[in-house]
Copies of this chain bind each other. A is one copy, B any other.
Amino acid sequence: MSAAFTVAVQTARFDPGAEMAQLAGLPDVGAQVCFVGQVRDFGDSQAVTALELEHYPGMTEKSLLAILDQARARWPLAAARVVHRVGYLPLGEAIVLVLTASAHRGDAFAACEFIMDYLKRDAPFWKKEHTAAGSHWVEAKHSDQQAAQRWQ
């Protein structure tokens, strides 16, 4: 059922409730875990007012699907989905959704966190932070490299 493993890159908002509702009917699913990342007021800078997300069209989708494949190889998943927004995203806006569904909660939790950690390390998105003082590209974080490494 590979139709249950999908990714989307879009400027439009997503609806976490609607995404989760789509998986509510699967009879062998006992657990869903949904991660949502949103624009917060601090990052490399303080007082961030917005982010701008750029991506590499084509490679982004390939990269996200490859991450879902890695997750499926590790945990018994009934479904998984990634939605990542691009473009201009003001403070408080949702950026990314990662949703996993499995028979057991432990697998759903682990796979969701794994997908998010690998996305941060491998998927070709770049963030620019906007503040009152100007804008600049966000630097890659060592902590994100470490987060992905602990799954190896």
Contacts and interface: CB of A to CB of B under 8 A. Distances in A.
A113 B103 contact: no
Interface string A25-50: 11111111111111111100000000
Interface stretch (A1-9, A11-19, A52-60): A11-19
A87 to B, nearest CB: 18
Interface string A96-119: 000000010110110011001000
Given A16-B20, A106-B147, A147-B106, A92 B31 contact: no
Contacts of A31: 35-38
A81 to B, nearest CB: 14
A91 interface: yes
B35 A92 contact: no
Main secondary structure on A side of the interface with B: mixed
Interface of A: 15-18, 20-21, 24-42, 91-94, 103, 105-106, 108-109, 112-113, 116, 147
18 contacts: A16-B34, A17-B20, A20-B36, A24-B92, A24-B93, A26-B92, A28-B40, A30-B38, A31-B36, A31-B38, A32-B36, A32-B38, A33-B34, A33-B35, A33-B112, A34-B36, A35-B105, A40-B103
